[in-house]
Structure 1
Amino acid sequence: MKTKDVIYMIYNEKEQSLTSMGIEFIDFINSLTNELNNVLLLASGYTGEDFHYGLRLEYLRKEHLSDLYKENVHHYGDFCWMDFDNVASLDNLEPQEKAELLYLGHYKEALSSPFFEKLNNKYVYLAHDDGWFNKVFYKDKNDFIDVLRRLISNRLKSYKKNVAPLSHDVGEQLALLAKDGILVDLYRVIKSRNSLEIPFSVIGKIMDFDDVYNNMERHKAKANLEYWLMYKNNEWMIMSYR
């Protein structure tokens, strides 16, 4: 079993973040409803055409982002970035703001807010061994719900070509359950002629992902309640069974 066969995620509503295992950079990019503008690389192994000497950081303009999307970012180790609107805004950052950006990239947490008025960023993406540990901050909760809706359906297209995104209501239900840590068993998908069923369990907030991955069956057994994401007649619903 590979890490892409499962998704474990913890949603922190207060700080508008999703911490996950099994979700990769390209999964996130393919689930966005709006394209990114520019990207500031806070920590990575990428070397491109643009470097900001005031920040000592690489960045990518919108027209070059497709190059980054082709990269195997998992091999970078640390892969941390944020979007931003205007390249000129990088020149206007104060020393404190620069320090907060470097803190984000190094410690993978925000010193104060992960969102910067001058940069107008919508996301902060912080990963170590991309797909193993990822933490994404969302400025707008609706953007998070939209990514979650499309993420699940995109990952199921190997089973069924045309899978509609989760409805907004089902996306919100899933986010609510993810506040307590959910483990989605993609390797146990049940496919029939007219439907797909994906089991998942609420196993609690566990930040030791080695423990989650190596002891999945034990954690699921302790959950006592199994949920199912069910897709039938182009509609999604969440069911639960004891």
Structure 2
Amino acid sequence: MAKKEKEIEEYLTHLYVHVNEIEHFALFSGLSVQQFIKNFSDLSALLLLKHQYEDASFNMHTQLEFVVKEQYNHFLKDYAERPSVLCLLDFSDERKLNMLSPQEQAELLYIAHKKEAFRLPFYHHLQNRFVYLSDEGQQITKIYFRDIEDINKLIASVFNQYIHEKMKSTAFWRKKNNVILPELSIEKVDAYADYYEDGVLMSLFKLDKTNYGIEIRSLPENIFPDEVLGDLKDHLDKPADLLIQF
């Protein structure tokens, strides 16, 4: 735990995480689709279940639209300019979309409408790793994970991305002085996985010139996830439950 109380301005960024391992999903607040796709940039294609992107390709069998890897940058730029409700999942090949049964297609429409699944939403033909569901302002994002370990990978990536992007303005200085940026490891995130099942606020701050810390605060069960970041001051007034240093 930190040795002294910090002002809210001393924190760099925050992420709310609530993991449901049984149903293979996690709730996030403070996560953007840009951060998600940047971390999983190897995904072959994205099936768009609900969106407002106008340059997507169209699949006749499912009557749904999709984007391939080469379109990701344009897709994300368009979304940043015109944020909207976004529901998508990854898939390996368009030919596999044509193999989806009427029942499976109905399940996809149900997921997009209800933002929930009545069985694990991972399909043999699609070989999808994720289902991504967010509201218009990305105040709350729900992601189904085929491999639950990918949650730890994503959490580590969000904080590492933030640190790297914040240091871009001093890239010349960093190269000249051969400074190596700290990296939050997946193993350190995984070490505290039990906390995420109850819902936590993870708050990044700088410990010193070369090291960072993340305070973890367990949140009460009756909070609304989409209001966590709006109530930051109230949450940060309470002592952290633990500190990850890296």
Contact 1:74–1:129 (8 Å) recurs in 2:
no
User: 1:113 aligned to 2:108?
Assistant: no
Structure with greater strand percent: 1
Q: Secondary structure at the match of 2:103?
A: helix
Q: Shift in Å at residue 133 of structure 1?
A: 1.1
Deviates more, 1:44-53 or 1:98-107: 44-53
Query: For the residues of structure 2 that align with 1:29 and 1:174, how far apart are their CA atoms?
Result: 24
Q: Does 1:129 align with 2:136?
A: yes
* Shift in Å, 1:173: 2.1
In structure 1, how many angstroms separate the alpha carbons of the residues matched to 2:133 and 2:14? Answer: 20
Rounded to whole Å, the distance in 1 between the matches of 2:20 and 2:53 is 29
Q: 1:181/1:120 Cα in 2 relative to 1: closer, same or farther (>3 Å)? A: same
Q: Percent identity?
A: 26
Higher relative contact order (CA 8 A, sep 6+): 2
Structure 2 residue matching 1:147: 3-state secondary structure? helix
Aligned to 1:29: 37
List alignment gaps of at least 5 residues for structure 2.
1-7, 169-179
Q: Measure the CA separation in 2 of the matches of 1:107 and 1:139.
A: 19
In structure 1, what is the Cα distance between the partners aligned to 2:236 and 2:57? 46
The equivalent position to 1:203 in structure 2, one of 206, 209, 219, is: 219
The Cα shift of 1:40 comes to 0.3
Alignment partners' CA distance in 2, 1:218 and 1:7: 15
TM-score, structure 1 length as denominator?
0.82
Letter of the structure 2 residue corresponding to residue 9 of structure 1: V
Shift in Å at residue 171 of structure 1?
Answer: 1.7
Change (3 A) 1:206 1:16: farther
> Residue 193 of structure 1 aligns with which residue?
209
Bigger drift between 173-182 and 61-70 goes to 61-70
Q: 1:208 to 1:36 in 2, by over 3 A?
A: same
Distance 1:165 1:146, change over 3 A: farther
Structure 1 residues 76 and 190, CA, compared in 2 at 3 Å: closer, same or farther? closer
Unaligned runs of 5+ in 1: 232-242
Q: Deviations over 1:111-138 (max 9, x none)?
A: 2221111111011101102531101111
1:44-55 mapped onto 2 (5 Å cutoff): 44-55=51-62
